[in-house]
Chain A
């Protein structure tokens, strides 16, 4: 197993590559989901507000 982690002596180049790839993917995923949740919440609030406003105008 230690041989696997050593990656033939190239551990210092291979593990950062995979770490950064996972970080990039997860980062994009979390950013995308948060952005969507925020917009969806605001639209829901807007739609809840709308009928009332229509009554006023």
Chain B
């Protein structure tokens, strides 16, 4: 972890990983879309709506991965004061929020034809909605202070406290058995989903994750540039005094 703390070193590593992530994203998302829309069977109960899963489930995973990134990076930033960690948490927030929104909307689009309703206050849906609001709260709080460092610390605390929601989301389908179906991929005893459907899901999941990695790295790089600009501005103010 400490090796990445040095911004110059981080930039070097990020510059190496990013093209690789872009390549993986392109090479999995294109065949992923092909299998998801053309070359996979309709479900025997859900018909073609099962194709919504290939978008809905990867975005749900990224919603969780984004929040986990944010909470972990915030913890590292609070303990060791690494600037790259704080910028990582800040950068993960809008990306994770976007995928959480995509997860909620596509879930609605799946719920209407299959459950007969766009929305229900089921534990899984409610806890993911709370996740979305935690993201929004983090983003608002991080920018609410004139001193970005103070904002980062306050928002970081929110991210860490809110992390309790992540296992609640994961296990909500087991603890409160309501409308949302339980896990069928990441569960004990292996996935209970047919290989013909696991293939497009796997491709899309890898593609979404690679795209997320690319976006995150690029935004941390940008945040480092913006930090440099801010510091130069402060130095200018000092000179003007």
Where the two chains meet, the residues of A that have a C-beta atom closer than 8 Å to any C-beta of B are 4, 7-10, 13-14, 16-18, 20-21, 24-25, 27-29, 32-33, 35-36, 39-40, 42-43, 46, 57
Contacts and interface: CB of A to CB of B under 8 A. Distances in A.
B48 A10 contact: yes
Interface residues of B, number: 35
Given A17-B51, A36-B225, 18 more contacts: A8-B48, A9-B47, A10-B113, A17-B56, A18-B33, A18-B37, A18-B55, A24-B59, A28-B98, A29-B215, A32-B215, A32-B218, A32-B222, A36-B221, A39-B229, A40-B222, A46-B232, A57-B239
B57 to A, nearest CB: 12
Interface of B is mostly: helix
B200 to A, nearest CB: 12
Contacts of B51: 7, 14, 17
Contacts of B141: none
A13 B112 contact: yes
Given A7-B48, A13-B112, A28 B215 contact: yes
A54 B211 CA distance: 42
A28 to B, nearest CB: 5
A4 B229 contact: no
Given A35-B219, A43-B228, A21 B55 contact: yes
A36 B218 contact: yes
Given A9-B47, A32-B222, A39-B226, A24 B99 contact: yes
A21 B98 CA distance: 10
A57 to B, nearest CB: 7
A14 B48 contact: yes
Contact of B52 (A14, A24, A36, A46): A14
